[in-house]
Amino acid sequence: MKRKFVQIAALCLCAALLLASGGTASAAPANSNDRIIRVGLHYGTGAMEGLNFENIKGSGFRFGYYDGANQFVELGSTGQTAISVVETVNVYYGTYNEYRSYHTTITSSVAVGEYHLELPGTYGSFAQAQAAASQYPGGFAAYIGGAYYARVGNYTTRDGAVAAQSALAAQGVSTQLRGTSEYGVSVVITGTNTILFQYDDLGQGTGLGVEPIQTGGEKCTTLSKGYVYNGGFRFQRIGGGKLTVVNLLGFEDYIKGVVAAEMSTSWPIEALKAQAVAARSYALTLGAKHGKHNFDICDDVDCQRYTGQTSAGTNSNTAVDQTVGQVALSGGKIAQTFYYSSNGGASESVSNVWGSNQSLYPYLVGVTDPYEAYVTNLNNNWTRTFTSSQIISRLLSGNHVTAPIVSAAVSAYTDVGNPRMITFTDSAGKNFSVSSARVFSSLGLPSFRFGFAGSGGTSQPTPPTTPSGSVSINGSTTVNGTSGLYAIDGNGNLNVLGSDVYVITDSGVSQLGQNQVQDPDQNAGGQWSGSMTAVNGSLTFSGKGWGHNIGMSQFGARAMAEQGFTYQQILQFYYTGITVGYT
């Protein structure tokens, strides 16, 4: 671990008095929420055949599409407050996989058929098409390939549609039989087979847009699958498949949803502010990760958790409002601020965990974390047991192992005390050394901070110690440890003094590290060891923390906030060298 030297004779204690500044700019950008973000809710293997929506604050829905600038173009509307969007195929209303909506894999008395009858000609507006269609039972307006049509009925079989066509012909009404389309989408009244609107972009990729109608000036909220959302929705059958469903909403409203989903809204507001800045920065650095599904970011932990406004509260919303537009900056660019639940005592450098080029992420370096131990985290301690055959097949299949694995040991540690290399030994006495990054990913361990459990092990090597001591400044004030101290660099940036700090005084070099927090759970009962012998043919990994250990610990942020640190200080502790400001 490199030692940092800080000249504090001139610093005195003024750095401690500047803690709240955090290097932020003077004013937030205007209209930060005007930026629209597209959040994938259901896509890929999770795409839907039918999805229910309820406008719980407004009065119905508008139908249309989103243009290239993500602006909604209205084509029609309904006063119905409970609607479902379905593929234009045969779907049936009922319960499947614990979700009551429209499905193709069941049958029921409520069926929305894929065959329709189309009246002659096109119409100039939704109202005109709807007026023409309403002259017949089951009539509805449709927008197909850029033109309005009037359609009648829905039938699950071609024979049924032909019979209805003949009946209309007997009344002197001429129609064209229209079957399903691989891009067609229908809107129905939930629980019925009544079609309100049908849309087909004929493969142009716009998809159907649906937005709740606002009343009384209050922001609309839509209920779907138990979650409450702001904004609108896009339904697209990519490649003719099921419905890819995307939530389009203002960027800051999205951040409010993320903060409430990723962190308890009861936690201190400074922790929530740190989460808001981290979530905002991360969202802005993802690029085209989900470009093939035509949205920006997904709603689960593959990106960051988002459940709409379901869990949002005053505390979390205030945290977003008070940091609106703020991001973490490194070298003048937005930092990719990864975060996770807890690190068990130390974060880790991105190069050690994911093999990334460390020079591209100077702010994602491991730091010893003395703060997490101050808060209770029920998920912090874990064990995972694997048989010898599982370890060989999942981890060592390319190493030509022919004998059972009988022991394992952490053979190298990182600067902050996380494992760097694991060496496995088979019954023939052969050793196989594997990076801890491969062990972590291949075995799916909960955290990057781990060792072994069980008998036959030796004590875990103590991570690099944190210096402790006191320094007298200007002959009057004594500083013990670095807690609460910051330094100002040559560029005027405020930086956290970490645990690896030495200072130069008129008496020479002195240690001024944060006193190490002793974590009573690290070797609780001697269960966390640096090595172990297989027991009944199995090895048990034991560790602390939950997540990849890169960047900010959420439980650590909570602990720091409870000890009086500001959100800027929290972010600067976990993301080395960043500042908090605006783009």
Task: With beta carbons less than 8 A apart as the criterion, state whether 451 and 542 touch.
Answer: yes
Q: From the CB of residue 397, how many other CB atoms can be counted at a distance below 10 Å? A: 11
Least confident of 4-8, 210-214, 294-298: 4-8
Query: Has residue 299 been placed in a domain?
Result: yes
Least confident of 302-316, 327-341, 479-493, 511-525: 511-525
Q: Convert the pLDDT of each residue in 498-544 to its tens digit.
A: 544 545 444 433 444 433 333 333 333 334 689 999 999 999 999 99
Query: Has residue 279 been placed in a domain?
Result: yes
Which whole number is the average pLDDT over 574-580? 98
Query: Could you tell me if 328 and 408 lie in one domain?
Result: no
**With 70 as the cut, is the pLDDT of residue 176 above it?**
yes
Query: Could you tell me if 280 and 316 lie in one domain?
Result: yes
Task: With beta carbons less than 8 A apart as the criterion, state whether 411 and 423 touch.
Answer: yes
Query: Could you tell me if 244 and 121 lie in one domain?
Result: yes
Query: Could you tell me if 42 and 164 lie in one domain?
Result: yes
Cα gap 280→336, rounded to integer Å = 10
Q: Convert the pLDDT of each residue in 371-384 to its tens digit.
A: 999 998 877 899 99
Confidence category of residue 288, pLDDT binned at 50, 70, 90: confident
Query: Has residue 183 been placed in a domain?
Result: yes
**With 60 as the cut, is the pLDDT of residue 125 above it?**
yes
Which whole number is the average pLDDT over 7-18? 32
Query: Has residue 4 been placed in a domain?
Result: no
Q: Which residue has the higher pLDDT, 333 or 29?
A: 333
Residue whose token pair is 């944190």 = 466
Cα gap 255→86, rounded to integer Å = 29
Q: Which residue has the higher pLDDT, 456 or 582?
A: 582
Segments forming the whole domain that contains residue 439: 381-463+520-544
Confidence category of residue 496, pLDDT binned at 50, 70, 90: low
Global confidence as pTM? 0.83
The SS3 of residue 490 is: coil
Do strands 327-330 and 501-505 pair parallel, antiparallel, or not at all (unpaired)?
Answer: unpaired
Query: Could you tell me if 156 and 88 lie in one domain?
Result: yes
Query: Could you tell me if 115 and 233 lie in one domain?
Result: yes
Query: Has residue 3 been placed in a domain?
Result: no
Confidence category of residue 31, pLDDT binned at 50, 70, 90: low
Query: Could you tell me if 42 and 123 lie in one domain?
Result: yes
pLDDT of residue 481: 53
Please give the distance of CA 71 from its chain centroid, rounded to a whole number.
Answer: 24
Query: Could you tell me if 142 and 167 lie in one domain?
Result: yes
End residue of a domain, out of 251, 284, 314: 251
Least confident of 140-154, 232-246, 483-497, 512-526: 512-526
Query: Has residue 315 been placed in a domain?
Result: yes
Confidence category of residue 573, pLDDT binned at 50, 70, 90: very high
End residue of a domain, out of 251, 275, 291: 251
Least confident of 98-102, 153-157, 203-207, 490-494: 490-494
Closest to 301 measured CA to CA, from 261, 335, 328? 261
Query: For a pLDDT cut of 90, what percent of the chain falls above it?
Result: 75
Cα gap 370→547, rounded to integer Å = 17
Least confident of 10-14, 129-133, 241-245, 353-357: 10-14
**With 80 as the cut, is the pLDDT of residue 269 above it?**
yes
Number of structural domains, the chain? 4
pLDDT of residue 453: 86
Q: Convert the pLDDT of each residue in 202-257 to its tens digit.
A: 999 999 999 999 887 777 789 999 999 999 999 999 999 999 999 999 999 999 99
Phi-psi region of 581 (alpha: psi -120 to 50; beta: other; left: phi over 0): beta
Query: Could you tell me if 120 and 205 lie in one domain?
Result: yes
End residue of a domain, out of 229, 251, 273: 251
Query: Could you tell me if 393 and 456 lie in one domain?
Result: yes
- Which contacts qualify for 26-30: CB closer than 8 Å, 24 or more apart? 27/582, 28/324, 28/325, 28/326, 28/582, 29/325, 29/582, 29/583
Query: Could you tell me if 575 and 434 lie in one domain?
Result: no
In residues, how long is the chain?
583
Burial of 550 (0-12, 13-18, 19+ CB in 10 A): buried
Which whole number is the average pLDDT over 16-39? 55
Query: Has residue 428 been placed in a domain?
Result: yes
Q: From the CB of residue 70, how many other CB atoms can be counted at a distance below 10 Å? A: 15
Output the DSSP codes for 229-294: E-SEEEEE-GGG-SBEEEEEEEHHHHHHHHHHHHS-TTS-HHHHHHHHHHHHHHHTT-TTTTGGGT
DSSP 141: E
pLDDT of residue 131: 98
Query: Has residue 2 been placed in a domain?
Result: no
Query: Could you tell me if 335 and 417 lie in one domain?
Result: no
